[in-house]
């Protein structure tokens, strides 16, 4: 099939022209010259970044998993080799570097890990980022290569993250793999109420070799974000169009109400999203419908250094409780069939649907809450935390207390226990694990 790139190379050429010459401002208010933005009363050369910098970490993680022998997802994964527990060891390394020469910057980040447990062993090596950035002035830049974008204001979820991989709500601050893109950024600053305006234009190709997991191949997709800093409020208008995924658009905002209290929100709408829904008779209905996702959240820091983050997340692409229940029933029925006559037809059907039903937060409505207390009772370098993710439709939940210690230079130690609650037919009650105990050591360099 011939790639559907017709007409879009012209847009790429336009992006290149824009980075070389910024068009007249579309922002109200008097413009500020670059020289006015950067007036120093000290020698900036002494603080100039080094041409080359690098760093990373070595990690060793041990996990003990108590498996949920009654859970549907346990039965789907382990019906041939039942087991009660798994012990897993995972060493990993992450390396990142940055080289600057004039207006050009090359930077990259790579992660490699291996994993062993009683059931299997795996290894992987991923280039998370690797791109060239050309910045002829602080107002405009052009990025080419594999880059991770962080669009949106949410902490654990980002419905408007149209060209980025989803966050892991259990580890939302961990590095994620980017996509190969060409991106243009134009920035305009003023002294008016609208202090900053930044326009991002991104081209994302999908072929048989590049960005294969993004969507349908042989298409060039385009995404845009307009960021506005109006008084004390961050505003983002976002859009995506292309043939690899359905078109979508959204808005995100954040505002500091007080120095220690901020609110944020996102909304994304997909006019024609593709759905695959298991029906009561066992058939699969494929159809298109509109999907709207949104979140509302806040972050609050108390005088005792307790940080509270909470987010309500509505997943318009998720399944309702009865729809998830049909998937779990299919697995339980398939397991009974396998035990009675060795048949695997229903389990194979469930395995085919698992990429959509067995994904994190496959349901509709969630409440995320994280409490993190820095150095309680004057215990230096010690930070306990508690993370709770609740499926509001069925009441099941994931509860993760943890303790973080950074008292040794360049070392980080984290102990975490994750408990899953909920009975039969409920999302977290049908997961493969009852609990997971994890000890992670990191040595930064």
Render pLDDT for 245-274 as a digit per residue (tens, 0 to 9): 999 999 999 999 999 999 999 999 999 999
Average pLDDT, the chain: 91
The confidence band for 50, taking pLDDT boundaries of 50, 70 and 90, is confident
Render pLDDT for 144-193 as a digit per residue (tens, 0 to 9): 999 999 999 999 999 999 999 999 999 999 999 999 999 999 999 998 89
pLDDT of residue 377: 92
| Three-state secondary-structure class, residue 369 | strand
Give the length of the chain. 445
What residue ranges define each of the domains in the chain, with the CATH number in brackets?
A: 60-444 (2.40.160)
**Rounded percentage of the chain residues whose pLDDT exceeds 90:** 86
Render pLDDT for 204-233 as a digit per residue (tens, 0 to 9): 999 999 999 999 999 999 999 999 999 999
Count CB atoms within 10 A of the CB of residue 69. 13
Does pLDDT of 400 surpass 80? yes
Residue, of 414 and 192, whose pLDDT is higher: 414
Does pLDDT of 17 surpass 50? yes
Render pLDDT for 52-109 as a digit per residue (tens, 0 to 9): 999 999 999 999 999 999 999 999 999 999 999 999 999 999 999 999 999 999 999 9
Q: How many helices (H) and strands (E) does the chain have?
A: 5, 18
Of 432, 424, 348, 421, nearest to 83 by C-alpha is 432
Q: What is the pTM of this model?
A: 0.87
Of 349, 285, 350, 294, nearest to 317 by C-alpha is 294
Does pLDDT of 45 surpass 80? no
Does pLDDT of 40 surpass 60? no
pLDDT of residue 29: 44
pLDDT of residue 169: 92
pLDDT of residue 295: 97
Render pLDDT for 435-444 as a digit per residue (tens, 0 to 9): 999 999 999 9
**Residue 91 vs residues 64, 106, 172, 326: alpha-carbon distances, Å:** 15, 28, 20, 38
Of 182, 59, 55, nearest to 107 by C-alpha is 55
């Amino acid at each position: 099939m011939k790639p559907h790139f017709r007409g879009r190379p012209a847009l790429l050429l336009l992006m290149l022209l824009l980075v070389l010459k910024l068009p007249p401002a579309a922002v109200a208010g008097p413009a500020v010259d670059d020289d006015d933005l950067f007036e120093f009363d000290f020698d900036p050369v002494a603080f100039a970044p080094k041409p080359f910098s690098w760093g990373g970490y070595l990690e060793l993680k041990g996990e003990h998993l108590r498996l949920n022998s009654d859970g549907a997802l346990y039965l789907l994964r382990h019906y041939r080799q039942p087991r009660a527990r798994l012990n897993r060891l995972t060493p990993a390394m992450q390396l990142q570097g940055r080289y600057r020469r004039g207006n050009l910057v090359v930077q990259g980040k790579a992660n490699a890990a291996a994993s062993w447990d009683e059931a299997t062993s795996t290894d992987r090596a991923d280039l998370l980022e690797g791109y060239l950035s050309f910045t002829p002035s602080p107002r405009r830049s052009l990025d080419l290569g594999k880059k991770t974008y962080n669009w949106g204001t949410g902490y654990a979820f980002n419905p408007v993250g149209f060209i980025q991989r989803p966050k892991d709500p259990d580890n939302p601050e961990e590095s994620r793999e980017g996509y190969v893109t060409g991106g243009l950024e134009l920035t305009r600053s003023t002294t008016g109420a609208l202090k900053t305006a930044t326009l991002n234009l991104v081209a994302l190709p999908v072929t048989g070799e590049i960005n294969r997991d993004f969507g349908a191949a042989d298409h060039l997709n385009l995404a845009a974000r307009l960021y506005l800093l109006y008084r004390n409020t961050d505003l983002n208008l976002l859009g995506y169009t292309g043939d690899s995924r359905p078109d979508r658009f959204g808005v995100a905002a954040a505002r500091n109400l007080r120095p220690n209290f901020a609110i944020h929100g996102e909304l994304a709408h997909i006019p024609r999203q593709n759905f695959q829904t298991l029906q009561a008779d066992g058939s699969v209905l494929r159809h298109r419908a509109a999907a709207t996702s949104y979140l509302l959240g806040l972050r609050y820091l108390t005088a005792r250094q307790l940080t509270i983050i909470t987010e309500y997340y509505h997943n318009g692409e998720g399944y309702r409780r009865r729809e998830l229940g049909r998937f779990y029933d299919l697995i339980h029925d398939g397991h009974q069939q396998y035990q009675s006559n060795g048949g695997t037809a229903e389990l194979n059907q469930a395995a085919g649907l698992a990429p959509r039903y067995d994904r994190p937060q496959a349901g509709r409505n969630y409440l995320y809450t994280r409490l993190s207390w820095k150095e309680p009772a004057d215990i230096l370098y010690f930070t306990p935390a508690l993370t709770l993710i609740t499926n509001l439709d069925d009441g099941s939940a994931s509860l993760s207390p943890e303790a973080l210690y950074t008292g040794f230079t360049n070392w980080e130690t984290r102990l975490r226990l994750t408990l899953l609650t909920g009975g039969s037919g409920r999302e977290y009650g049908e997961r493969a694990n009852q609990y997971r105990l994890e000890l992670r050591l990191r040595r930064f360099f």
